[in-house]
Chain A
Amino acid sequence: MTSASTASTASQGLAGTTHEPDDTGHFGRWGGRYMPEALIAAVDEVAAEYEKARHDPAFLAELDRLQRDYAGRPSPVTDARRLSEHAGGARILLKREDLNHTGSHKINNVLGQALLTKRMGKTRVIAETGAGQHGVATATAAALMGLECMVYMGEVDTERQALNVARMRLLGAEVVPVTTGSRTLKDALNEAYRDWVASVGHTHYILGTAAGPHPFPRMVRDFHRVIGLEAREQVLAAYGRLPDAVVACVGGGSNAIGIFHPFLDDADVRLIGYEAAGDGVATGRHAASITGGTPGALHGAMSYLLQDEDGQTLETHSISAGLDYPGVGPEHAFLADSGRASYEPVTDAEAMDAFRLLCRTEGIIPAIESAHAIAGAVRLGRTLGPEATILVNLSGRGDKDVDTAARWFGVVDPESLPTEEPPPAEDADGAVASGEREL
C-alpha cells in the first residue's frame, strides 16, 4: 500500500493540459454539440462558470477540502500480490477508487459539479444513472449541499441495482424509474435531457460520465484527472518507475479518461480500455461501442456508437449496468483513432471470472464494471509476463452487485431471491455453462 498522502490534489486536475479540445469541444472530428438549441444557453453557462471556477482559488480550495475530508482522497494504490500469480506474474497495482466515499470514482466528478451548481445559483440537480453509483454520488452531494435531487434510472437497472435505489432514497433523492426504450442507461439519459429542457432555469444536469455535449467531456475528465495524477505519483514513489500499462473499464469513459490522461505524454505507458462485450461482440449482444460501433451522434457528441444502418441506436447488453450504454465519450474515440489508447472487449463471463478471482485472491469485492478491468489486466499480464507492472483503475466496490453475483454463481438459494430470468448459460466462446460457475 502506498503512503497515505500525495502531493497531487483534485484541483490540479483542472489546471489545463496540452490535450484539450477546441473551443467548441471537438477532439479532432469527435465531440462537439449535437443537441437542441434550447439547451445551448445552459451548456454555455456551464462552460463559462467552469472556466471561472477552475481559476478561482476559493473554488479549488473547497474542492480539495471536500475531496480530502469528505471523500477520503487520496485513494491508495494496492499491490495485488496474490492476483499477480494469476496474471503471468505481472505486478498488478490497484488504484482504489472503490474506497472513496460512496464506493466509486463517481464522487470525484459529482463534488466538482455540485460546487459548480451552487456557484451558478441553481437549487436543483438531476442525474442519470446506470449502476446507481453516479446517482448515489449525486444524491450524496445534494444532501451535503442542500440541493434538491432527482435521479433518472432505467427500470431494468432499478431492479438489478436495487441496493443503490434504496441508498439514493435514504439520501433524500427522488428516483424515477424510466420505462421507455430499453429501460437502461441511454433511456435514463433521454429522460434527464427532457427534464433539463423544461427545468434549466433552476436545475443543473450533473452528467455522470465524460460524454455528452461540450463542456462535459472535458470538465468531467478534469474532475477525474486526480485519479491518474495521484496514481502516477504513487507508483513512481513506491517503485521508482512508471507502469507499463494503465488499464480501466470503459462505459461512458470517465474512470478511464481520469486515470489515462496524466499518462498521455508518457509514450512508453500503454493505455488500454476494456469495453463490455456482454455475450461476445460477435453475438451482437454487447455494449462495446469502440470495438463494435461506428461514428454517430448521440446525447450531444459525435463519437463511436452502436447503431443500425438507419442510425437507430441499438439495444446493448452487459451484465454490468454501468457499462450497458451504446456510446462512449468523444476523447476515447479520439484516442482510439490516434492509436494512443487501445480498446478491447471483455465478456460477461470473463468479467465474472475476474470478479471471483479478485474476491478470492485479494479480499476485495469489485463492482462488476471494475471487474472488466481486472479481467483485462489478468489477460494482459499473461502476455507481458513477470517483468511488467500494470496499473488498474479499480473504479468501484461491489456491494451493489452482490445480488447479481450471487445469482451468477448460484451461491444463494434461488428461492430467496426476487424472480428474474437466469443469466444466459453460455458466452460466445462457450466459456462458462451455468452449472460450472463455481465460486
Chain B
Amino acid sequence: MTATGTGITRLAEVFTTAKAEDRAALIAYLPSGYPTIKGSLGLLTQALDAGADLVEVGLPYSDPVLDGPVIQHAVDAALKGGVRVRDTLAIVEQLAERGGRAVVMTYWNPVLRYGVDAFARDLAAAGGLGVITPDLVPDEAGSWLAAADREGLAPIFLVAPSSSDERIASTTAATRGFLYAASTMGVTGARDAVSDTATSLVARARTHTDLPIGVGLGVRNGAQAGEVATFADGVIVGSALVSAAEHGRAAVARLTTELAAGVRGQHTGR
C-alpha cells in the first residue's frame, strides 16, 4: 500500500475533495473478472482515468438477488471464466498501487466463506477502502463491524425507500465512509428516469447522519448524473457501465467522461 491513512479516512477524502469543487463524487461499479480478469482491471483503470473518483469492484457471486439482467450476465460470465475471490483482492491492490481508490461490492456469503477477519485483513493490506454489502444488514454484521473497525475499513450499508426512520438511524450509525441510498425499490439496471423516491430518501437520511450519501440504482447517463448530483454527495453508476463494458474500454471511457461532466453540472444535453 502506497497511500497513507486508513481506508475510512481515504474514503472521506473522496467526498471532501468533491465538495471543495462544489460537485458530487462519481462512483463507478464494474465486476472483477469481466470480460476477463485482466480485462476488468483495464476497465476499472479506465474508469478511474476518465474521471471516476472511486470504483466499486464487484465480487462475482452465483446468486446476486439484488442485480438485474445486465450485471447478472456479467458476473455469470466472470464466474464461468474462473474468477476467484483472491482475484478481486489482487485487482484492488493493483488499482491502489497506482493511486486508485477502490471499495469492494460483495454479497456476504463469499466473505463468510473466506473468513470475515481474513477478508478484512487482506482487503486492508491490498489498499481497499471499504466494503459495500447489498445483502448484509447491520443487524447481522457484528463480526464484520469489529473486523472493519480493526482494519480501518469502511462498512458501507444500504438504505432503501422502504427503510423506516428507525432503520435509517440504526443503519447510518453502523456505516462509515458513505451511505449507499438505493434510489428505487428494485434490482440494479439502468432506468429512463431517476425516481423521485431518491430525493425524499436522501432528505430523510440527512436528518440522521452527516455521512456523505451516494445514490445508486438506475443512473445511466450524464444528464441523470447531473440530476442526482443536485441532491446527493455521490453518484453511483453500475449497469450502464457494465453495458458499456460489453463494447470495450473506449465505451467505458466515453460514458465515464460524460458522467464525470454530469456530476460537475457540465452536462450538455443527451
| A contact set with B: CB distance below 8 Å | 24, 32-42, 180-181, 186, 190, 193-194, 197-198, 200-201, 294-299, 305, 307, 309-313
- Rounded to whole Å, the gap between the CB of B180 and the closest CB of chain A is 9
Q: How far, in whole Å, are A313 and B84 apart by their CA atoms in the complex?
A: 13
Q: Considering the complex, which residues of chain B in the window 105-161 have a beta carbon less than 8 Å from any beta carbon of chain A?
A: 108-114, 134-137, 139-140, 157-161
Q: Is the CB of A35 within 8 A of B109?
A: no
Q: Is the CB of B110 within 8 A of A37?
A: no
Q: Is the CB of A37 within 8 A of B63?
A: no
Q: How far, in whole Å, are A40 and B139 apart by their CA atoms in the complex?
A: 11
Partner of A38, one of B61, B112, B158: B158
A-B contact pairs, 26 of them (CB 8 A): A33-B140, A35-B137, A37-B163, A37-B167, A38-B66, A38-B182, A38-B185, A40-B137, A41-B164, A41-B167, A180-B72, A181-B62, A181-B76, A186-B63, A190-B65, A194-B187, A296-B109, A297-B108, A297-B109, A299-B63, A307-B113, A311-B61, A311-B111, A311-B112, A312-B79, A312-B110
| B contact set with A: CB distance below 8 Å | 61-66, 68, 72, 76, 79, 84-85, 108-114, 134-137, 139-140, 157-164, 167, 171, 182, 184-187
Q: Is the CB of A33 within 8 A of B139?
A: yes
Residues of chain B contacted by A193 (CB below 8 angstroms): 65
- Rounded to whole Å, the gap between the CB of B59 and the closest CB of chain A is 9
- Rounded to whole Å, the gap between the CB of B267 and the closest CB of chain A is 28
Q: Which residue of A lies closest to B182 (CB)?
A: A38
Residues of chain B contacted by A32 (CB below 8 angstroms): 139-140
Q: Which residue of A lies closest to B73 (CB)?
A: A180
Q: Binding site of A, secondary structure by majority: helix, strand, loop or mixed? A: mixed
Partner of A41, one of B84, B163, B184: B163
Partner of A40, one of B79, B167, B185, B187: B167
List 12 additional contacts besides A299-B63, A310-B84; criterion CB under 8 Å: A33-B139, A36-B137, A38-B66, A38-B162, A200-B162, A295-B112, A296-B112, A310-B110, A311-B61, A311-B85, A311-B112, A313-B62
Q: Is the CB of A38 within 8 A of B62?
A: no
Q: How far, in whole Å, are A296 and B84 apart by their CA atoms in the complex?
A: 17
Residues of chain A contacted by B113 (CB below 8 angstroms): 294, 296, 307, 309-311
Q: Is the CB of A298 within 8 A of B109?
A: yes
Best-buried of A200, A312, A313 by chain B (most CB within 10 Å): A312
Residues of chain A contacted by B109 (CB below 8 angstroms): 34, 296-298, 305, 307, 311, 313
Q: How far, in whole Å, are A313 and B64 apart by their CA atoms in the complex?
A: 11
Partner of A198, one of B62, B157, B187: B187
Residues of chain B contacted by A298 (CB below 8 angstroms): 63, 109
